Amino acid sequence: MRDHTKKELYSWIKSIVFALVVAFICRQFLFSPITVKGESMEPTFENNDRIIVSKVSKIEHFDMIVFHSPISKDDYIKRVIGLPGDTIEMKNDVLYINGKAFEEQYLNENKGEIPLETTLTEDFKVTVPEGSLFVLGDNRPSSMDSRIIGSISDDAVVGEVKFRFYPFKEVGTPE
């Protein structure tokens, strides 16, 4: 009976170690859970929302990413506006990427809360350096983003936001 118990225990230990190794590999290289901190992406994300980021995604315009802040030990979540080589211009609250105007529908709720004849985002023009991304928060008046901290290095990117799992009423793919 003792021999059988040892084999059973060894089998359980092997299974648990295997599961831990698989979980570690997935979290390090494929995806990771993140807790949103702050109000810079409101109303898209609220403080303490829980999300999953993919570490293997190809980043494109308007993707939401998590990255290591160049000015603190925090991770930030922002929306990618410019890719390497892009010229980004904001004029009268209209976003231009390489001269083409884009409507930022995710800002409509925030634009509705500001006084008439006031802009949500101040005017600027910038060219994104190679190996970098230009990011902005959806809550433009309260966002520490590329307008302040500059372009983000590709190496600082943790991953692209793929799924929100908390709060439960907001579960799904964020837009």
Structure tokens of 69?
Answer: 């802040």
Q: Hey, CA dihedral for 92, 97, 103, 107, is it positive or negative?
A: negative
Residue-level pLDDT at 1? 56
Active-site entry in 6, 15, 69, 78: 78
CA dist., res. 87 & res. 168, Å (int): 38
CA dist., res. 80 & res. 161, Å (int): 11
CA dist., res. 140 & res. 123, Å (int): 12
* CATH number, domain containing residue 155: 2.10.109.10
- Asked whether residue 83 is domain-assigned, the answer is yes
The answer for 167, left when phi > 0, alpha when psi is -120 to 50, beta otherwise, is beta
Tell me what the pLDDT averaged over the chain comes to: 90
**Which range in 22-31, 77-86, 101-110, 159-168 is most confidently predicted, on average pLDDT?**
77-86
Known catalytic residue: 40?
yes
CA dist., res. 76 & res. 57, Å (int): 17
Residue-level pLDDT at 5? 83
Domain hosting 134: range is 31-170
- Asked whether residue 35 is domain-assigned, the answer is yes
CA dist., res. 138 & res. 123, Å (int): 16
Query: Any residues with CB less than 8 A from the CB of 49 and at least 6 apart, and which?
Result: 35, 36, 164, 166, 167, 170
- Asked whether residue 2 is domain-assigned, the answer is no
How many alpha carbons fall within 13 Å on the CB side of residue 122? 9
- Asked whether residue 89 is domain-assigned, the answer is yes
- Asked whether residue 25 is domain-assigned, the answer is no
Active-site entry in 40, 143, 146, 151: 40
> Can you give the pTM of this predicted structure?
0.85
Shortest CA distance to 126 belongs to which of 82, 92, 94? 82
- Asked whether residue 4 is domain-assigned, the answer is no
pLDDT reading at 51 higher than 70: yes
Q: How far is CA 54 from CA 36, 59, 154, 158, 172, in A?
A: 15, 10, 15, 8, 14
What are the respective helix, strand and coil percentages of the chain, to the nearest 5? 25, 35, 40
Amino acid found at 84: P
Q: Name the domain count of the chain.
A: 1
Q: pLDDT digits over 126-154, tens only?
A: 999 999 999 999 999 889 999 999 999 99
- Asked whether residue 19 is domain-assigned, the answer is no
- Asked whether residue 131 is domain-assigned, the answer is yes
Structure tokens of 168?
Answer: 């439960």
